[in-house]
Structure 1
Amino acid sequence: MPELITRPRRALIVVDVQNDYDGGNLPIEYPPFSETVKHVGQAMDIATAHGIPVVVIRMNLPETAKVFAKGTHGAELHPEVASRPHDHLIGKTQPSAFTGTDLELWLRQRQIDTVTVVGYMTHNCDLSTVIHAMHMGFAVELLDDATGAVPYSNAAGSATAEEIHRVSLVIMQARFAAVLSTADWGAHVAGGTLPHRDTLYESNLRARRVA
């Protein structure tokens, strides 16, 4: 179980860092893509320097899709990721990087117990991958400055990209993942340590005390 891990065996999961997010058909608004994608690159560099395997995930959708359509520039990996080495490349069609892919098997074969998630979007493919990994028994980390969100408006209401990003991070930290910056993650990698992940109870207790 993740709680018993004393010295983590990590893999970095780089989720859907594709051109459609960079001013394309689904532009990341908060934090700005130009800032967060640099942190994705930094995380990949840290992982490579410390012998942590890097798995790059790419959303593959049909030619008729509105985003990430096969054969389009928007579906291609962003240069920040494409220019760096990786250990495994996975195509997916669902939000979670585990659904319909060999990701779990690949990680188990390498005795990975901790996955670090970066990429896009905070509230969709990252959230899905984080929750999926936690249910599989992995310890999970999410780098909050290496991901981002878009605004939504639908039958349930509206929310800004900043609201969606912030609330998604709070939810993940409360139960599903340790949420931290790329710089702080680098320090944990260097020290061979795991960052703190909260509990539902403690997160709620703090909120009630503040209220």
Structure 2
Amino acid sequence: MANSALLVMDIQRSVVELADDGSGYLPRLRRAIDAARAAGIPVVYVVMCLRPDDLEVSPRNKLVSAVARTGIFTEGTPAVEIPPEVAPQPGDVVVTKRRGSAFSGSDLDLVLRARDIDGLVLAGIATSGVVLSTVCQATDLDLRLTVLADGCLDLDPEVHRFLVEKLFPRQADVLSVADWAAAVAP
């Protein structure tokens, strides 16, 4: 896992409230975060924030326009805060994005290159949103990828299952949080 980082994506109050399925998601995610820190793997939080005036929201972007109308990603509101159970600690990086992928409208690529990171471990909500978009873009950037299957959630469990069982294995290693944590344990 040398030169890898754990990306914790879109784990924000509004998103967790919408998607949490009662399966113990935040404690499971916390296990992945703790395992990364113990192994010396950088933890990078990626949050979605849109300006209150919707300056960066194009009416041509159907998804972002719809999300902007809900207000769940409005910058400066409690809705975009990271839940305290999995909050960043000193030394963690927080990157703000303006679109679906962790790379779109953010300085994530710069952060990764500055640290010579060439592999990503992905966790986040939603599997069909930020995780899928980031897998596609990271693949095109020639990054090694691991997706934590139970470190991701989606509003549609069937879509989640399809992605982690059928699509992501073509581009990434797909592991459970427990298996990944065991593999990186010092």
TM-score, normalized by length of structure 2?
A: 0.83
Name the structure 2 match of 1:36.
Answer: 25
Where 2:154 maps in the other structure, the secondary structure is: coil
Name the structure 1 match of 2:100.
Answer: 95
* Structure 1 residues 39-86: Cα deviation after superposition (integer angstroms, max 9, x where no partner): 211111111111111111111023373122223221111112226445
What letter corresponds to residue 28 of structure 1 in structure 2? Answer: A
CA distance in 2 between counterparts of 1:174 and 1:69 reads: 33
CA distance in 2 between counterparts of 1:111 and 1:82 reads: 24
Where 2:163 maps in the other structure, the secondary structure is: helix
Q: 1:172–1:187: structure 2 CA closer, same or farther, 3 Å change rule?
A: farther
Name the structure 1 match of 2:168.
Answer: 173
Q: Give the ranges of 4+ consecutive aligned residues of structure 1 lying more than 3 Å apart after TM superposition.
A: 83-86, 171-174
Which has the higher relative contact order, 1 or 2, with Cα contacts under 8 A spaced 6 or more apart? 2
What letter corresponds to residue 141 of structure 1 in structure 2? Answer: T
CA distance in 2 between counterparts of 1:36 and 1:108 reads: 30
Q: 1:89–1:33: structure 2 CA closer, same or farther, 3 Å change rule?
A: farther
Q: 1:33–1:134: structure 2 CA closer, same or farther, 3 Å change rule?
A: farther
What letter corresponds to residue 79 of structure 2 in structure 1? Answer: G
RMSD: 1.9
Count of paired positions: 170
CA distance in 2 between counterparts of 1:98 and 1:149 reads: 20
Q: Does 1:12 align with 2:17?
A: no
* Structure 1 residues 64-121: Cα deviation after superposition (integer angstroms, max 9, x where no partner): 7312222322111111222644521111111111112221121122221210011111
Name the structure 2 match of 1:55.
Answer: 44
Name the structure 2 match of 1:120.
Answer: 125
Q: 1:78–1:172: structure 2 CA closer, same or farther, 3 Å change rule?
A: farther
TM-score, normalized by length of structure 1?
A: 0.74
Q: Does 1:131 align with 2:136?
A: yes
Where 2:185 maps in the other structure, the secondary structure is: helix
Structure 2 residue runs without a partner (length 5+): 54-67
Q: Percent identity?
A: 38
CA contact (8 A) 1:127 1:172 kept: no
* Structure 1 residues 17-47: Cα deviation after superposition (integer angstroms, max 9, x where no partner): 0011233xxx115xx2662222211111111
Q: How far did residue 187 of structure 1 move?
A: 2.1
Structure 1 residue runs without a partner (length 5+): 1-6, 151-160, 192-211
